[in-house]
Amino acid sequence: MIVKEIILRAQKLDRYDVGETIERLASKINRKPSEILKLNSNENLFIPINFVRGLLRQVTEEVDPRIYPRDEFRELRESISAHHNIPPDEIVIGAGSDQLIDLVSRMSLREGDEALSIAPTFVIYERCVKVQGGIYKSVPLRNDFSLDLEALLSSITPKTKIIFLCSPNNPTANQFRREEILRLAEDFDGLVAVDEAYADFANSTLVDVVGEFENLIVFRTFSKVFGLAGLRLGYVITNKALAEVMNERLQMPYAVSLVALKTAVKMLENFEYIEGTIKELKAERSRMIEALNQIDGVRAFPSETNFVLFQVNRNSLSVYRNLLSRGIIVRNIGRVLEFNNCLRVTVAPAPLINRFLGELREVLSVEA
């Protein structure tokens, strides 16, 4: 009976669609995997693969993978502490920010509790809330993609335990005003959890004020700016009391691999190099937005992330499928507030984006 209950409960959850994969698409269209351009998951292709592999080779020479990681957690917390100029005891390390979002959901919610967020936004928040038997409520953004702060505040009920915000937001690519998020933290008794996965590509962060609030949590990741999506590593920054509880009572003792921990330390040691790639990405992002807006029938929105949301005057699903047939993987988003037929594309180095832009022009001209 219990197995049937588990299955029935799980079937009420939406599947997380990771989109088309390189190998699968290559097989479908009879192309080599190396010919597929994957621009659908906001991975950071500005970090050269040889640079990452060089760090991994160093790590594999230094570690003993037969031993559970212990001191390596402390070492990475100290490195993150120095990077952000915050105390190390405000940091919780996890297997990607997704795992930490799930951890925060588990510690915050009981069946019937409510979580509040915005729409549209990252779908993982809703998934984690529903896994806990919680009720997920969302407040639409304004049509300029800004927060409707008063609507958020008025949606809080005695059952609301947590508010999730993605800033900069996925898929709208904009960062919310710092003072609005802090007002939520001041006026709401529950947790305010802010996902800053893309903050390094924007202009501000809440990391510097986290320790001043008892209910503010910031998620960070090594998947985006550091180009380590495949190693699955993220961290939470929060006040010391909450971080201590998460580290000592709630997080699994060996939640992250030894290799991921050591590689992250080396990435932080090379942050001056990483800063150069951020500048390169931002420059390419500006060029890409300008180029998209010069294509007839395309509107690209401003971005403070490593992706660009754009609207086409065709059926976006048809455009998405035609790009797939040409070996280009983007993300079909569809409707975003009042904007129909939206797609999302990862910002990538110029040769890759030039190919994407050329193929997009061809697809739109064929569909005209």
Tell me what pLDDT residue 5 has. 78
pLDDT in tens for each of the 368 residues of the chain?
688 777 887 777 788 777 889 999 999 999 999 999 999 999 999 999 999 999 999 999 999 999 999 999 999 999 999 999 999 999 999 999 999 999 999 999 999 999 999 999 999 999 999 999 999 999 999 999 999 999 999 999 999 999 999 999 999 999 999 999 999 999 999 999 999 999 999 999 999 999 999 999 999 999 999 999 999 999 999 999 999 999 999 999 999 999 999 999 999 999 999 999 999 999 999 999 999 999 999 999 999 999 999 999 999 999 999 999 999 999 999 999 999 999 999 999 999 999 999 999 999 998 65
Joined tokens for residue 86: 């915050």
227 Rama class: left (phi>0) / alpha (psi -120 to 50) / beta = left
Tell me what pLDDT residue 367 has. 63
What size, in residues, is the chain? 368
Tell me what pLDDT residue 257 has. 97
Q: Which among 301, 289, 368 has a CA at the least distance from the CA of 338?
A: 301
Topology adopted by domain 2-48+272-367? Aspartate Aminotransferase, domain 1 (3.90.1150)
Tell me what pLDDT residue 2 has. 83
| 317: CB partners within 8 A, 6+ apart | 332, 334
Backbone φ and ψ for 111, nearest 5 degrees, come out as -55, 130
Residue spans in the chain of domains classed CATH 3.40.640.10: 68-269
Order the strands of the 298-300 sheet from edge to edge: 298-300, 307-312, 339-346, 331-336
Instruction: Provide the β-strand partners of residue 10.
Output: none
Joined tokens for residue 312: 């086409």
Tell me what pLDDT residue 4 has. 79
Residue spans in the chain of domains classed CATH 3.90.1150.10: 2-48+272-367
Tell me what pLDDT residue 275 has. 97
* Domain 68-269 CATH (choose: 3.40.50.20, 3.40.640.10, 3.40.50.1980, 3.30.2030.30): 3.40.640.10
Tell me what pLDDT residue 52 has. 98
